[in-house]
């Protein structure tokens, strides 16, 4: 090839290559993506200007820390620069952890009316009071580390039945952690010698107290231990079981509406008492698993120490094992396809159930906790809360 022609061809090729270099630099200098598909992408390089080449911003860091956004590419003649890849968000991808069960506040509302001295069966059998008290004390002591106990007894004082002073704002023992001894000592000091049974107003006073706890984040419940014989409507009043019973049921229903479900522990000696206990238990929203049987009581039986102990252990187990606070909120809020709750070593997926009947649901609009309901909660109680795992997905990644 003649020298002049060859030189001209080489010069022409180099000129074309020089024009290609900015585009090559733009393509090759984009930021690397982080290890998970979650960080925000870098901004694109701005359109051409004086500079000959644009480059995308660098990608974010990998690992558990949050990724950084790629910086904008500098101006270039070849068109917009390519933005940096996203970094890693510690909440995104598949984020897995073992949740810690949340403690619960339980206010024991203890019926100390004189009817608690009646025998549970034929003459000579133990009294209702003698059955309830030892078991209450044992279970409260056994659950001291997982339940913050408090207590209110009713009726108060030694005056006539259904007077204003038979229920006041007084709380025998304020709710606090590691409070078992204070509560059991208060139970020991209580006698079953009260006049009248103002159950409805005792529940109303319990609600007022629980509402006063303010910023305490624990879920709050009432545990009503009674014999199903309310005798006072709104106090002051005269004794009337016909008006006292619906008044008590309405009070329990209102407590649940206010956010304080009620477990009813019953000592019934008549069918009428059992009916009242069933109605209060249904209104409280916390019935035993066996209550699906239409012939079974809807309240927790306390006809003997073994039954009552099992009932209270079930209550505390349910509360402490089926509510799971989320230390970090899910990256995609209010979307059940982006959060999975799993049980056991085989990671059986618990279904989402916004009706809160048999599955999991967020407890509030801010997704601060997950609660499991129904048969799945029963399985958690058996397996232990440590068998539960929760996984987070991303906006573009569903959980398995």
How confident is the model at residue 42, as a pLDDT? Answer: 40
pTM of full prediction above 0.75 = no
Per residue in 89-105, pLDDT (tens digit) is 446 676 666 666 678 89
CA distance 17 to 78: 13
pLDDT the model gives residue 122: 85
Confidence at residue 216, expressed as pLDDT on a 0 to 100 scale: 82
pLDDT under 70: residue ranges of the chain: 1-92, 94-101, 384-386
**Cα distances (angstroms) measured from residue 233 to each of 113, 133, 178, 198:** 15, 26, 35, 7
- Domain residue ranges of the chain, discontinuous segments joined by +: 1-89, 104-321, 323-392
pLDDT at 204: 98
Reported residue count of the chain is 400
Q: In which order are the strands placed within the sheet that holds 369-372?
A: 323-325, 369-372, 360-362
Contact 166, 195 (CB under 8 A): yes
How many beta carbons lie within 10 A of that of residue 62, not counting itself? 15
* CATH class of the domain at 104-321: alpha beta
């Amino acid at each position: 090839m003649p020298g002049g022609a060859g030189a001209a061809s080489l010069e022409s090729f180099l000129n074309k290559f020089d024009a290609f270099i900015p585009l090559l630099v733009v393509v090759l200098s984009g930021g690397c993506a982080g290890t998970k598909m979650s960080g925000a992408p870098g901004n694109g390089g701005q359109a051409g200007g004086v500079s000959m080449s644009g480059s995308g911003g660098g990608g974010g860091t990998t690992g558990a820390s949050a990724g950084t956004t790629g910086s904008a590419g500098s101006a270039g003649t070849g068109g917009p620069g390519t933005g940096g890849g996203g970094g890693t968000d510690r909440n995104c991808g598949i984020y897995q952890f073992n949740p810690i069960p949340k403690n619960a506040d339980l206010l024991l509302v203890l019926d100390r009316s004189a009817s608690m001295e009646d025998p549970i069966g034929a003459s000579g059998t133990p009294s209702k009071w003698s059955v309830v008290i030892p078991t209450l004390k044992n279970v409260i002591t056994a659950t001291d580390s997982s339940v913050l106990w408090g207590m209110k007894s009713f009726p108060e004082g030694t005056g006539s039945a259904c007077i204003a002073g038979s229920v006041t704002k007084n709380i025998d023992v304020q709710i606090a952690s590691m409070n078992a001894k204070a509560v059991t000592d208060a139970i020991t000091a209580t006698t079953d010698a009260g006049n009248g049974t103002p159950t409805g107003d005792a529940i109303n006073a319990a609600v007022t107290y629980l509402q006063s706890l303010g910023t305490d984040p624990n879920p709050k419940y009432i545990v009503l231990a009674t014999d199903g014989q309310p005798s006072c409507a709104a106090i002051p009043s005269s004794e009337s079981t016909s008006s006292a019973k619906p008044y008590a049921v309405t009070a329990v229903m209102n407590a649940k509406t206010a956010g304080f479900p009620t477990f009813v522990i019953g000592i019934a000696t008549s069918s009428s008492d059992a009916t009242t206990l069933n109605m209060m238990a249904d209104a409280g929203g916390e019935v035993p698993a066996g209550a699906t049987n239409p012939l079974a009581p809807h309240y927790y039986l306390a006809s003997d120490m073994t039954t009552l102990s099992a009932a209270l252990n079930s209550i505390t187990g349910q509360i402490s094992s089926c509510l799971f606070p989320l230390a970090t909120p899910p990256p995609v809020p209010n979307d059940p396809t982006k959060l999975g709750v799993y049980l056991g070593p085989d990671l059986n997926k618990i279904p989402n159930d916004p009706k809160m009947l048999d599955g999991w649901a967020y407890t509030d609009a801010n997704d601060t906790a997950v609660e499991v309901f129904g048969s799945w909660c029963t399985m958690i109680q058996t397996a232990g809360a440590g068998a539960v795992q929760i996984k987070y997905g991303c906006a573009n990644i569903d959980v398995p």
